[in-house]
Amino acid sequence: TLLCELLARDPTNRPLMKWEGLNSIPPPETATFTTDERIAAEVEKQLAIYSMVPRLKAVHWEPGDGPTECVALLTQSFRAQDWYGLFRVPSYLEWFHACDMQRAYDYHRLSLQVLGSHAPGRWSLKAPGHLLALDALRATYPDARIVVLHRDPAKAVASSTSLSASSHPE
């Protein structure tokens, strides 16, 4: 997350912003990229979510006007690990691990093309879930530079479990 935030500060990079990842149409315009009305709406929505599930804010703070994981685009194709984290449906997990992720990455690429059509830039993206489909990721973006950071597995599992548990209201 820290690396994603740092890369987003480089003006030559184009991160996926939370507000545009969740509300992509119409695509953003360069001239109004920092003033688009969807930004304030997403900030308000995030604050409402954190007021309903306060422990989520402590575990996974993500401002509505900041960069987000591009898994937001994969979820729109219903092929993302996030669905299992939000809804415990064992048959989905089995299906997800066996599904063809290329369709999801085709959609991901199309989404980025639409989003960048009026607000171009060099994409700087983040989603740990890409590790589950590196073959589809590399087939879709053969020129991508992939950075994999090491994290202590015990801490990563604890963090993921905490996030999943915090995603549900008490």
- Provide the pLDDT for residue 79: 93
Q: What residues contact residue 163 under an 8 Å CB cut-off, 6+ apart?
A: 56, 59, 60, 85
SS3 content of the chain, % helix, strand, coil (to 5): 60, 5, 40
Cβ atoms of 25 and 142 closer than 8 Å: no
- The pLDDT profile of the chain, 170 residues, written as one tens digit per residue, is 888 899 999 999 999 999 999 999 999 999 999 999 999 999 999 999 999 988 888 888 889 999 999 999 999 999 988 887 778 788 998 999 999 999 999 999 999 999 999 999 999 999 988 999 999 999 999 999 999 888 888 887 777 777 777 665 55
CB within 8 Å of 85: residues ≥ 6 apart: 160, 163, 164, 167
Cα 8 from Cα 125, distance rounded (Å)? 9
Give the number of other CB atoms < 10 A from CB of residue 58. Answer: 10
pLDDT for residue 117: 98
Q: What per-residue confidence (pLDDT) applies to 110?
A: 97
- Which residue type does 19 have? W
Calpha distance 63→71 (Å, rounded): 16
Asked if residue 127 lies in contact with residue 79, where contact means CB atoms within 8 angstroms, the answer is: no
Is this structure's pTM higher than 0.85? yes
Tell me the HSE value of 108 on the side-chain side, using a 13 A CA sphere. 28
Q: What is the dihedral of CA 83, 86, 91, 92, to 10 degrees?
A: 0
